[in-house]
Structure 1
């Protein structure tokens, strides 16, 4: 029968080689694996102190399972389940915690200044905001230059354009990507919450997400859907007759 020190040595050695052999696998890529060798060795050292007997046949799988359970618990980022869980940048680069909008109905829109949909959407967004802002409604506008390069200006230029030409009183945030690897985390969440007709990707400027007072995404509208046409859905969430 193995002594405790022999078992510790065996488990440590097995875990080390198992982690090394799995380091490039999809399993670790999906657990936010930290490649810092010191962090890995710290976990290995902690687990090597186990003194209870483990069947030699199951020692590797059991210890690896325990390792990843603890590793995931200590290293993974908590999942986000609400729009209110996110922090974004405003047009001046300052952090804005979206939990500040708890209790409000939100319409989140990716905007552009040089799009064929710009005039109609900005005009109706301002009309909708003016009508319902006193009832707990807020519009969050996120400039994006991914569609035909139709939002090329700086944040300052974008804000001046929207506020001067269309009297936009709602907040306009930092320019973001809404698709691709560099998509803003908020937009990854929005898309995963409500997919589009032909896949999750944002199709063009002025896609719209309607969010309830608890931060849940309840509906998604195409770029060609006019803001005023969703008034009925908005009133329902606001509890306005």
Structure 2
């Protein structure tokens, strides 16, 4: 049986991030896109990262180019673009598919555990998944849910 902690994902340079290394952390996973109209959410995600990283929150951004080609950046240029345009310092991953035959295993797992209103597909950029300290997916948030609206859920899971 697949659990969150059995999964891994590549960072932009190709180095693996083993999800088991996140045991005991609250994890917020977001499919991102630098040219999306929702890209201002990067600032809100960074704010959550700055406020809660030392208290046990990990924010992981998975860039995705499956929605209207809104992620034209390469893995090599993405982190720089996100830092320059949005102040991002949280961990970005390599570009990944979130739907279709090449769905990244992290998103296949999350969609299975937390199907959305319209089934298991990811509707658009900036769909968010919140995972508790035990690796259990707790809540899925729509692309329109701003990071500030997720904060109370994060605080509760962190126990602060």
Report if TM-score (shorter chain) is over 0.5.
Answer: yes
Alignment equivalent of 1:111, drawn from 14, 22, 32: 32
Alignment equivalent of 1:149, drawn from 63, 66, 69: 69
Determine which structure has greater relative contact order: mean sequence separation of CA pairs < 8 Å that are 6+ residues apart, divided by chain length: 2
Give 1:98 shift: 1.0
Report the counterpart of residue 37 of structure 1 in structure 2: none
* Structure 1 residue 222 corresponds to structure 2 residue 142: yes
Q: Larger helix proportion, structure 1 or 2?
A: 1
TM-score, normalising length from structure 2? 0.97
Report the counterpart of residue 159 of structure 1 in structure 2: 79
Residue 127 of structure 1 aligns to a residue whose secondary structure is: helix
Residue 80 of structure 1 aligns to a residue whose secondary structure is: coil
Q: 1:166-186: per-residue Cα shift (whole Å, max 9, x none)?
A: 221111011000000110111
Structure 2: tracts of 5 or more residues without a match = none
Residue 199 of structure 1 aligns to a residue whose secondary structure is: coil
Separation (CA, whole Å) in 2 of partners of 1:229 and 1:141: 18
Give 1:152 shift: 1.4
Q: Larger strand proportion, structure 1 or 2?
A: 2
Alignment of 1:151-230 (within 5 A): 151-230=71-150
Following TM superposition, where does structure 1 have runs of at least 4 consecutive aligned residues deviating by more than 3 angstroms?
Answer: none
Larger CA Rg, structure 1 vs 2: 1
TM-score, normalising length from structure 1? 0.65
Give 1:163 shift: 1.5
